[in-house]
Structures are given as C-alpha cells and as structure tokens.
Structure 1
Amino acid sequence: MPLIFSHAHISLIIAPDQKIYYKYSFTFKNVLCIMASYSAIITNASDYVKTGLIDHWKRWIVLVILSIIQIITINIVPLVSGYLVRVYANPDDIAPEIDEYGKLFIDGWKMNIVTILYLIPAFIVAIAFGAIGVISALAGLFSEGKITHLAGLMVGSIGILLAFLVFLLITLIMNMAYVHFSRSGRILDAFSIGAITRQISDGIGWGGYIIMWIIVWILMTVLFLIVSGLAMIPIIGWLALIVLTPLWSVFIAKINSNIYDNRP
C-alpha cells in the first residue's frame, strides 16, 4: 500500500518499490489559487500600463503617434513593434523609455520577420487542412448516399478543426517566440522551438497558457464591443481605437512576458 502525503494540490506518493511519484489533485481551493494566479498576471499587466503609459501620458502620446505612423506605412516603419520588443526584453515592472528610434526600427523589423516566418507555414497548413475540409464537406453535401454524405461532412469538419488547431498552436508558440528572441537579442532564437516549448511546459504549462489566452480573448471581445459601440459615434470611435491600441498592445506584451517568466 503506497504512502501518500498531501499538501496543497500536490501529493507525494511513495510506492512499495520505493519509487516516488507526484499526483496532482484539483480541489476548490486549488481552483481558486489558479484563478488568483491568472488575476495576478492580468492585474500586473494593467498596473504596468497604468504606471508606464497612462501616468506618463507624454510617453502614451508618443506611442499613439508611432502607432499612426506604423499604420499609415503598412508596418514598414514598425516603431511600436520595436517598443514591444523592448517591453519583452525587460522582465521588470518599469516600462521602458521611448528613445533610440533607430534601434526601435531594427527591433520592429526583427519582430516583423519573426511574424512573417511563423505565419507563412501556419497559413499554408491551415489552408491545406481547410481546403481538404471544404472539399470533403462539399463532396458529402452533393453525394447521393447518406453514408457518403455524412462521411464527407465529418472529414470536412475534422479538416477545418485541424486547420484551426494548427494555426492556434503556431500562434501560441509565436507569442512566446517574441519574448524568447527579445531576451537574447538574437532573431534566430525565435525559432528555437524546443527551448520555447520547454519554457511553456516547465513554467505556466500548456493548459494554463491556453486558459490564460482564453481569458485574454474574452477581454479582447469586450473591448471590441465597446469600441464598436463608440464607432457608431462619428470620429469618436476611430479616436478611441487609435488611442487605446497602444495601451492594449503593451498590455498583451506584458502578459506574454509574465507568462514566459511564470510570474504575476
């Protein structure tokens, strides 16, 4: 009969063969602790934005101007992206200054290159699975037999689902790749997939990472609905979008940085 010593949500099991195993158990208290961790990550990122940009409103205004420049130039002058690299590179809770614009430009293009190289295979795989899914669904839709019809729809649905999951997985890795290469300054480190996935697994864990991003997507949806409502008012909606976008970008960057470091 194995001996079990429980503390918090981890149980240490000493089996008769003297081997030690760890068993994770989920209780209501543990769930509350986990939710508190997510809340701490979000609160820390919110405080970072408040103290770094809102309280330093001149820095915020400069970032808004840089955002407009990046939008107008269609990301050719990616100074805001360069600033986000600076946010990723500094794990402390003090927002970096906006200076050395030449370096911001170079770092911004590093981020552009990383994004492009990650999204190209993501789109290729997603389109391939998606195409298989759509073709199979259409074949099933126009087939005469019920079995063929259902099989086609099933294969189509699976193909579309796989396309979404592959795109989601690559996007999740890409978010951590931004932090990984920003810390070293070497763009090739963005493609050290093994090191990046280990950082996730050994830190917050894949389950925690996905849940964290579900929470972020919910927040993003709420913000989108608010901005969409404001967009019904002439000019105000666009102004709100321009003014809030830098805050949101830095907020997400800080969340990614906290997830990478597994700290609130």
Structure 2
Amino acid sequence: MNYQSVLEDSFGYTRDAFRGSWLRWLQLMVCIVVFPLIYGYFVRIMRGDAPDLGGWGRLFVDGLKLLVVYLAYIGLMLLVAMALIGGAGILAGTNGLVAAVVALVSFVLLILIWLVAQMAAVRFAKMESLREAFNIPAVLAQIRRIGWGSYIFSQVILQIVLMLFMMFLVSLVFLVTGLIGLVAGIIGILLLPVLMLAVSLVVYIFQYRYNTLVYESGTASSPSVTVAP
C-alpha cells in the first residue's frame, strides 16, 4: 500500500467534492438533518467517484442499511465489553493481575471489532448487499490481502491526519466566526454550529474515501505493500 498516494487521493477527492459546487454544500447540509441521507451519500463514496446527489429514495435506503451495519457492530462491541468487563470486575476481588489481563484482552478485542467494521462497511457498499457486511470470513480475507500490519498502520495514520485536520478546520471556523462576531455580533455565534457541520462533512468524506482506497489495496492485483518515500 502506498500511503502517500492514498492520502493524496483522499485529499484531492475531498477537495473536488466541494470545489465550485455551493449547491452540493447546501444539499449535503440538508442531508445531515435527515441523517440517513448523509449515510447514503457515504455509501456512494465507497462505491466509486464523487457522486452527485440524486435518487433520494435509494440514498435514504442505503443510508439506513449502513446504519444497520454500524449499529450491529457497535452492539457486538458493547456485548463483548460488558461480558469481559463484568468478568474482570468479578475477578478483581480475587486476583488483580487476572482482572488487568481481562481488561487488556477486552480492549484488544474491541479494537479488532472496530477494524473489521470499517472494512465491512466498504464491503457492503461495494457488493451492494447488506449480508456481505456480516460475511466475516470474506471481510477477514480482504484484510489479510491488505496485510494486518499495513491495515493497522493505515488506521493509525488516518487518526493522526484526522486529528490534525480537525484542529486546523476547527481553528479556522472559530477564526471566521470570531471575525464575523466582531462585525455582526450574534450572527457569528449562530454561524458556528453551521460551520462545524460543514467541517464534519469534509472530515467524513475524507475518511470514507481513505478507507475505500485501503480496502481496494487488498485486491488480487495489488498484493504488495510499499511505503512511499
């Protein structure tokens, strides 16, 4: 996997999704209000090129399906957490070391489930089948083709980039609203949540494109892993 290429493509994709298209900005802001629509848009991102908004019924249904995928994996994470943490609580009174080990194991399992969920979402979008999101052997096979080490490293990079990206965008938002506030008072305060929603859109589009490229790096035609200089 060429991490530099993945990052550059994701940044370019995100830029092109909004550049010169105020109508798309407005449409996406509306989609956030009817939130299954925005998840449907994320599904389209995982399927290919930056999509235009249209086919609202299909967008809504796809969004609901993606929400089902996430809720199912979140539910699994909660069940695992409750079972292991509950066991750790029982063991804490008898053996602190065992309880600590159980807590560590639960943390690792939760991370693994989260990692699987990211690729399961892309698989659902690519295969256009809700069932495929829960085809765990196929999802794990895709991750093995990517390489577990490469995949985990790609997610570490993603979280670091998202953190820096968010810090920059949020700082920019506060600067803009602060300047507006100096001139128009309450208007700057009212614009703050709107601009924060816009920032979240940018971040999510980048993230979904990034994970799509990571998934596609595990195709049979690209089995090797390289790090760009």
TM-score range, shorter chain: 0.7 to 0.9
1:194 equivalent in alignment to 2:137: yes
Gap runs ≥5 in structure 1: 1-33, 71-77, 140-147
Where 1:97 maps in the other structure, the secondary structure is coil
Partner of 2:7: 42
**AA at the equivalent of 1:180:** R
Aligned ranges for residues 73-222 of structure 1 at < 5 Å? Answer: 78-90=36-48, 94-137=49-92, 139=93, 151-152=95-96, 154-202=97-145, 204-222=146-164
**AA at the equivalent of 2:77:** A
Contact residue 227 and residue 237 of structure 1 kept, 8 A: no
Aligned residue pairs: how many?
206
Structure with larger Rg? 1
Using a 3 Å threshold, how does the CA distance of structure 1 residues 82 and 135 change in structure 2: closer, same or farther?
Answer: same
Structure 1: distance between partners of 2:17 and 2:71: 29
Structure showing greater relative contact order (alpha-carbon pairs closer than 8 Å, 6 or more residues apart): 2
Gap runs ≥5 in structure 2: 179-188, 223-227
Structure with more helix by fraction: 2
- Which TM-score applies when normalising by structure 1? 0.70
Using a 3 Å threshold, how does the CA distance of structure 1 residues 85 and 226 change in structure 2: closer, same or farther?
Answer: same
Where 1:99 maps in the other structure, the secondary structure is coil
Identity %: 27
The partner residue of 1:59 within 24, 27, 32 is 24
**AA at the equivalent of 2:13:** Y
Partner of 1:68: 33
Structure 2: distance between partners of 1:68 and 1:186: 26
**AA at the equivalent of 1:251:** F
Residue deviations 1:164-183 (CA, integer Å, cap 9, x gap)? 21111111111111111211
Structure 2: distance between partners of 1:224 and 1:187: 31
Structure 2: distance between partners of 1:226 and 1:131: 40
Structure 2: distance between partners of 1:87 and 1:208: 22
Residue deviations 1:30-87 (CA, integer Å, cap 9, x gap)? xxxx7xx2121111011001112234332122112211332xxxxxxx0000011111
Structure 1: distance between partners of 2:115 and 2:62: 21
Where 2:34 maps in the other structure, the secondary structure is helix
Residue deviations 1:216-263 (CA, integer Å, cap 9, x gap)? 112233344456666696445423321111111111111111011107
RMSD across aligned positions (CA): 2.4
Residue deviations 1:191-221 (CA, integer Å, cap 9, x gap)? 111111111211x211111111111112233
Contact residue 165 and residue 203 of structure 2 kept, 8 A: no
